[in-house]
Structure 1
Amino acid sequence: MRSKIVAGNWKMNLSQQEAKALCKEVNNMNIGSEIEVYIFPPMLYVSDCKAISTHVKVGAQNAYPKDTGAFTGEVSMWQLKEAGIEAVLIGHSERREYFNEDNALLKQKLDAALAHGIKPFFCCGEPLEIRQNGTFLEYVKKQLVESVFHLSAEDFSKVVLAYEPIWAIGTGQTASTEQAEEMHAAIRSWIEEQYGKEIAENSSVLYGGSCNPGNAQALFACENVDGGLIGGASLKAADFSVLVAEGTWTILN
């Protein structure tokens, strides 16, 4: 049975004290018994959050594929592992768009994370122009083929995928349940083609794109949506608590 996951990406927000306070609130939330909760704080705060968290897993928003070397400003997967960090975001649309991270680099990051036993949350998704011209399925499949589908079945089973319709991130727009389910079902079908039905059925695929307390229940009820990678709503304890509460998931099979 695949995991149900809610992950909060705090992006470049919060002071140290605000981050610690939010982490404490998240850690004390009423988390559903079958739900895994992750938070991805800014890099400066991951150690603080790791020290606080007992029920919530802490990840990093980014890391570099090389272990050591003259890469000023970067943090390696090896260093994350040394700090006890359990997961890392790879391929977020903002890293692709603002920092020009391409599929080849993301493949290296994915391999490095797995080599050091860090759980990758690999993000994929299409911009508005690709959605509008109707080639969004081909676009997302290419991202997976070029960065992810080289993995062995054993390694792939350790990856969480997150579909982010880029046109819905930070815009207030959200993919309809039909749009979300269409893409998630397609992703699962591609996994089955590559790795077989059992792995496809047990792979977690999250939705990310302006997911909030008002739409989460409908999105999470989609057959192939296994939770959410949450941005803005993860910065407000009251909002995030709704997403991780047992009630949000009562309509899941």
Structure 2
Amino acid sequence: MPHKKLIVANWKMNKGLVQSQQFTDELRQFTDKHKLTETEIVLCPPFTSLDTVNKKINGTQIKLGAQNMHFETIGAYTGEISAGMLKSCGCEYVILGHSERRQYFHETNAIINKKVLKALDEGLKPIVCLGENLQEHEDKLTESVIEEQLSACLTHVSEEGIMNVTIAYEPVWAIGTGKNATAHQVESAHNFLRKKLKKMYNEEISKNTRIIYGGSVTPENSKELFASQTVNGGLIGGASLEAEKFIKIINSSNPNINK
């Protein structure tokens, strides 16, 4: 299994420059005091704060990520951001295929696949999101839905490429709803994804690909979720907007942090 858990803060359309600076300063006070041997932290602020946050985290244990990107290199795509632009801001990671992108901006698996391939080509590490909605969950279609998404989003991704991909399982019915998937449900979905990765690639890749969970992760439920060997971290939304809560989640992924 991957050695370090990946804890990703997805701020979505929240925090201006001042708020981004304040949060990052608070987080730095924590990371400057603790060596995080078991966790990798990624902050994904809005595009407008990428450069500011990057300067704040320079030389620290904190990595920078973006929330989205376009699959073209350059051109007449008003309002879009390219992978190269993200790299120039210091980004190492990029979230792709988040359920909100699928829902509100009608992103398909084919579009997400183009983005994944472009991100890898430009040296970014994609965090590829997938998960079932409430109706699919109630109809017991979870496995068929996430299998199709996994296969389609990773089309033409090589064995070398998949080593730089993180999968984020985010059941749509548990995002921002207050509903939580049980630890058993999460573990079951992650194990299923590993089985499919083994079929698509090989056993080593299946074991070593980071699969993180995103679905109303909080300081209260994170310890139980991260206790599973097959859950390699979390994609944190609402709970990542307050430094205190986010730090508690980081602590949950580092059982030996204060020993």
Flag whether TM exceeds 0.5 (same fold).
Answer: yes
Match of 1:217 in 2: 223
1:109 matched to 2:109:
no
Q: Give the paired residue count.
A: 250
Question: 4+ runs of 1 displaced by more than 6 Å?
Answer: none
Match of 1:27 in 2: 28
Q: What TM-score do you get using the length of structure 1 for normalisation?
A: 0.96
User: Residues 189-230 of structure 1, C-alpha deviation per residue, up to 9 Å, x if partnerless?
Assistant: 111111111111111100000000100000001121011000
Match of 1:17 in 2: 18
Q: Is the 8 A contact 2:168 2:212 kept in 1?
A: yes
3-state SS, counterpart of residue 234 of structure 2: strand
What amino acid sits opposite 1:123 in the alignment?
C
Q: 1:43 aligns with which of 44, 47, 50?
A: 47
- Relative to structure 1, the CA distance from residue 80 to residue 114 in structure 2 (aligned partners, 3 Å threshold; closer, same or farther) is same
Q: Distance in 2 between matches of 1:173 and 1:224?
A: 21
Q: Distance in 1 between matches of 2:233 and 2:29?
A: 20
What CA RMSD, in Å, does the superposition of the two structures yield over aligned residues? 1.3
**Structure 2 gaps, min length 5:** none
What amino acid sits opposite 2:8 in the alignment?
A
Deviation of 1:82 after TM superposition, in Å, equals 2.1
Q: Distance in 1 between matches of 2:253 and 2:92?
A: 25
Q: Distance in 1 between matches of 2:65 and 2:96?
A: 11
User: Residues 164-212 of structure 1, C-alpha deviation per residue, up to 9 Å, x if partnerless?
Assistant: 0100100111100110000000001111111111111111100000000
3-state SS, counterpart of residue 174 of structure 1: coil
3-state SS, counterpart of residue 88 of structure 1: strand
- Relative to structure 1, the CA distance from residue 163 to residue 143 in structure 2 (aligned partners, 3 Å threshold; closer, same or farther) is same
Q: Distance in 1 between matches of 2:205 and 2:155?
A: 13
**Structure 1 gaps, min length 5:** none
Q: What TM-score do you get using the length of structure 2 for normalisation?
A: 0.93
Q: Distance in 2 between matches of 1:82 and 1:35?
A: 25
Q: Distance in 2 between matches of 1:67 and 1:248?
A: 36
Q: Is the 8 A contact 2:97 2:112 kept in 1?
A: yes
Match of 1:52 in 2: 56
- Relative to structure 1, the CA distance from residue 18 to residue 113 in structure 2 (aligned partners, 3 Å threshold; closer, same or farther) is same
What amino acid sits opposite 2:16 in the alignment?
S
